[in-house]
Structure 1
């Protein structure tokens, strides 16, 4: 039930953005979100935060997920290939049902 609490989601979004700013710096965070080719993802992510704050957490989360995937989609193959090398997680990712989905996510965008 607390998964869709708008206060907790707002705190999580704020902590995500501040954590990103602390890790890569404030200027680089601003440049990352406002690159011309990433404006759609940034708009969706920030719009999802606004929708959550307005009181529709489920719809806001869906919009945020779309924006997050659009923003960080190029990083997903790198993350998947890293997770495949982690001992226990790599074994889980190689299971028959999961491996098809992981292989689809782990493909580089230009090689499809």
Structure 2
């Protein structure tokens, strides 16, 4: 019989959890109700991002990456100021704190 070390048991357990959550995420991603709620008002950003992926696959990487970047910024426009504000308060590094406060701006999600 093959003996399994403790590290191998931890690795198998972690891999099992990872596979489970990936499959669960894929299952939730293709739920039509969640897709309708999540992307109804972000159709422009989603189409630019997925169009950029298609353009990259068609061997136009520079144009595709530009489209993907625009789509990404369009999708996460409301979230980025919140993320920069959190990073500015989470880390007490003077240069980064000033940079994140500048990037945060005055826009809010409300």
Q: Same fold (TM over 0.5)?
A: yes
The reply to whether residue 30 of structure 1 matches residue 35 of structure 2 is yes
Count of residues paired in the alignment: 84
Stretches of structure 2 that go unaligned for 5 or more consecutive residues are: 1-21
2:85 maps to which residue? Answer: 81
- Equivalent-residue separation in structure 2 for 1:60 and 1:39 (angstroms): 18
- Equivalent-residue separation in structure 2 for 1:92 and 1:29 (angstroms): 40
1:53 maps to which residue? Answer: 57
Larger radius of gyration: 2
RMSD of aligned Cα (Å): 3.0
TM-score by length of 2: 0.60
Give 1:82 deviation, angstroms: 0.8
Stretches of structure 1 that go unaligned for 5 or more consecutive residues are: 1-18
Verify the 8 A CA contact 1:80 1:106 in the aligned structure 2: no
Bigger relative contact order, structure 1 or 2 (CA pairs below 8 A, ≥6 apart) = 1
Please list the CA deviations of residues 11-50 of structure 1 after superposition, one character each: whole Å capped at 9, or x if unmatched: xxxxxxxx7x839x32376232x31x21111110010000
SS state at 1:85 partner: helix
TM-score by length of 1: 0.59
Please list the CA deviations of residues 77-104 of structure 1 after superposition, one character each: whole Å capped at 9, or x if unmatched: 110111002325x533235xxx3x8525
